[in-house]
Amino acid sequence: MTPRTITELAAALRDGSTTPRTLLDAALAHVDRTEQDLNAYLAVTRELGYMQADAASHMLEEHPDTASPLCGIPMALKDVLCVDGIDTTAGSKILRGFKPPYTSTAVQRLFDAGAVCVGKTNCDEFAMGSSTENSAYGPVGNPWDIERVPGGSSGGSAATVAAGSVPYSLGSDTGGSIRQPAALTGVVGFKPTYGRISRYGLIAFASSLDQIGPFTRTVEDCALVYTTIAGHDPRDSTSDPRAVDDPLASLHAGVAGMRLGIPREYLGEGTEPGVRDAVQAAFRVLEAQGATLQEVSLPSTDVALSVYYIIAPAECSSNLARYDGVRFGSRVERPSLTDTYLQTRGVGFGNEVKRRVMLGTYALSSGYYDAYYRQAQKVRTLVSQEFEAVFKEVDAIVCPTSPSVAFPMGSRDDPLSMYMCDVVTLPANLAGIPGISVPCGFVDGLPVGLQVIAPRFEDARVMRVAHAYEQATDFHAQLSPYASAAA
């Protein structure tokens, strides 16, 4: 049976051709069959799932007309999202056995809508990585080729949707960690405007950059999940209070008459030829639908990567200072408190986390703060201003999501080559603007993603453009070998 979308499953639940328990049974069975190859999950929440499935059945029986489209439908959560009483490790040894006493706002809104949780997905440790090879619990395989990475840091969330285990999942995006794995696994991945979705209950990496968002099979499904979890939350001081536009209202409006910009810096020499060809073919599809495409320039792109890798590690250094073996998580006992701190962090943190903590601590240290962190924040403002200037000329930007397709595991052991994976996604995080990746082709059987970026709070516009492209092509309907075998 071909994996179905949220929209299709919602209709099946309402016409009685399936039940929440039946859908959960199928999801769990598929996870059981694929986990040995994919390693997409760090915890499978069977007991919680069946409780939620039964509650969803009651909701559908009592209120079939008002129940959410997500009611009774299985989903998965990146293991940086807290769920009350469920192990939440952020892919790190230092949080092994940690059970949060609360649930994140975004997740609670899904639960309130009747969503059914299948499990917590594998990720790069504390969301630091572009390949999901940095997890303390082993790498995740790409459902298109398990010898290749699924992207990161939300690799498990991307892989489980691409494999057909669940129709949607949640991830987090600090520099591309939703959009890049979506591109590499052939699914839809959306990063909202910063402040649109509450970060309460999200284990922090870089607080001014982190955003929660969905992985789905279609843009319409993405809009359904987004409208459920978006909105103001007083528990998050960075949550924006203004009303959320409903992307479903304009989803089918098309792109005729829209002005779309192509940043010349995003198709540079670092972009693989096959990726460039696929994305340029996507441009022609949008043009054929009535959009006007024009070249634009974002001159600070060449320094955005450097800026990101000063700001993100600095915030990481501050956020991860709380993991000391005293209040929660694992602890290595030593005779002195200082030695306990050092040994706990030395054993608990992996190499990439240590690298970024050291980089961030250095950038924030006396004598270097002004030279590095303060200067990086000034350039960050320049990046935002360049986007604002471009958006006076065009309605949205279209470009590659990743400069490459999925690469073999272990092939990028140089940190800089790994950091380059995010070169066309992280500028949107620095500016706090929305972006989406939608499948746009294949190179040697591996998916390519088209990225759409729009001004702040124009999340609905991003989905409108992506949906128009999706409806004119069938790349989103192509299934990975694991999804094709889904029962």
Range 68-91 average pLDDT: 98
- If one counts every other C-beta atom within 10 angstroms of the C-beta of residue 395, the result is 19
Q: 317 an active-site residue?
A: no
Q: Which residues contact 384 (CB under 8 A, 6 or more apart)?
A: 430, 431, 432
Q: 392: burial class by Cβ within 10 Å (0-12, 13-18, 19+)? A: exposed
Distance CA 320, CA 332 (A): 17
Q: What is the pLDDT of residues 88-136, one digit of tens each?
A: 999 999 999 999 999 999 999 999 999 999 999 999 999 999 999 999 9
- Would residue 265 count as lying in a domain? no
Q: Which residues contact 311 (CB under 8 A, 6 or more apart)?
A: 206, 208, 209, 373, 376, 377, 380, 430
Range 405-424 average pLDDT: 93
Give the residue carrying structure tokens 């000034």: 378
Q: Are 298 and 262 in contact (CB under 8 A)?
A: no
pLDDT at 487: 44
Q: 153 an active-site residue?
A: yes
Distance CA 153, CA 312 (A): 14
Amino acid at 11: A
pLDDT at 20: 98
Q: 78 an active-site residue?
A: yes
Distances from the Cα of 323 to the Cα of 72, 90, 319, 334, angstroms: 36, 12, 9, 16
Closest CA to 279 of 297, 293, 259, 300: 293
pLDDT at 486: 61
Host H or E run for residue 172: strand 168-173
Residue 399 has phi, psi (to 5 degrees) of -170, 175
Give the residue carrying structure tokens 């986390």: 353
pLDDT at 327: 77
- If one counts every other C-beta atom within 10 angstroms of the C-beta of residue 420, the result is 17
- Would residue 410 count as lying in a domain? no
Its pTM stands at 0.96
Total domain count for the chain? Answer: 1
- Would residue 326 count as lying in a domain? no
Residue 337 has pLDDT above 70, yes or no: yes
pLDDT at 1: 44
Distance CA 246, CA 378 (A): 34
The reply to whether omega before 484 is within 30° of 0 (cis) is: no
- Would residue 83 count as lying in a domain? yes
Distance CA 10, CA 4 (A): 10
- Would residue 467 count as lying in a domain? yes
- Would residue 406 count as lying in a domain? no
Q: What is the pLDDT of residues 423-434, one digit of tens each?
A: 999 999 999 999
Range 308-337 average pLDDT: 86
Residue 348 has pLDDT above 90, yes or no: no
Distance CA 271, CA 400 (A): 9
Give percent above pLDDT 90 in the chain: 89
Closest CA to 421 of 146, 128, 156: 128
Upper half-sphere CA count for residue 6 (Cβ side, 13 Å): 29
Which one from 104, 153, 154, 165 is the annotated catalytic residue?
A: 153
Mean pLDDT for the chain?
95
Which one from 92, 130, 165, 177 is the annotated catalytic residue?
A: 177
- Would residue 468 count as lying in a domain? yes
Amino acid at 363: A
Distances from the Cα of 259 to the Cα of 4, 242, 283, 353, 432, angstroms: 33, 26, 12, 41, 21
- Would residue 128 count as lying in a domain? yes
Range 314-343 average pLDDT: 82
CA dihedral angle for residue 174, residue 439, residue 40, residue 479, rounded to 10 degrees:
170
Distance CA 438, CA 183 (A): 7
Q: If you count DSSP H runs as helices and E runs as strands, how many of each does the chain have, helices first?
A: 17, 11
Q: What is the pLDDT of residues 243-276, one digit of tens each?
A: 999 999 999 999 999 999 999 999 988 899 999 9
Q: Are 194 and 239 in contact (CB under 8 A)?
A: no
Closest CA to 467 of 308, 191, 248: 248
Q: What is the pLDDT of residues 375-396, one digit of tens each?
A: 999 999 999 999 999 999 999 9
Distance CA 260, CA 264 (A): 13
CATH number at residue 144: 3.90.1300.10
pLDDT at 375: 95
Q: What is the pLDDT of residues 6-25, one digit of tens each?
A: 999 999 999 999 999 999 99
Helix (H, G, I), strand (E, B) or coil at 132: coil
> Domain containing 174: what range?
6-257+462-484
Range 148-168 average pLDDT: 98
Which one from 68, 78, 317, 437 is the annotated catalytic residue?
A: 78
Range 138-162 average pLDDT: 98
Which tokens go with 207?
Answer: 């607080």
Give the residue carrying structure tokens 């989905």: 463
Residue 344 has pLDDT above 90, yes or no: no
pLDDT at 485: 72
- Radius of gyration of the chain, Cα coordinates, nearest whole angstrom: 21
Q: What is the pLDDT of residues 52-75, one digit of tens each?
A: 999 999 999 999 889 999 999 999
Strand partners, 142: 145
Q: What is the pLDDT of residues 172-222, one digit of tens each?
A: 999 999 999 999 999 999 999 999 999 999 999 999 999 999 999 999 999
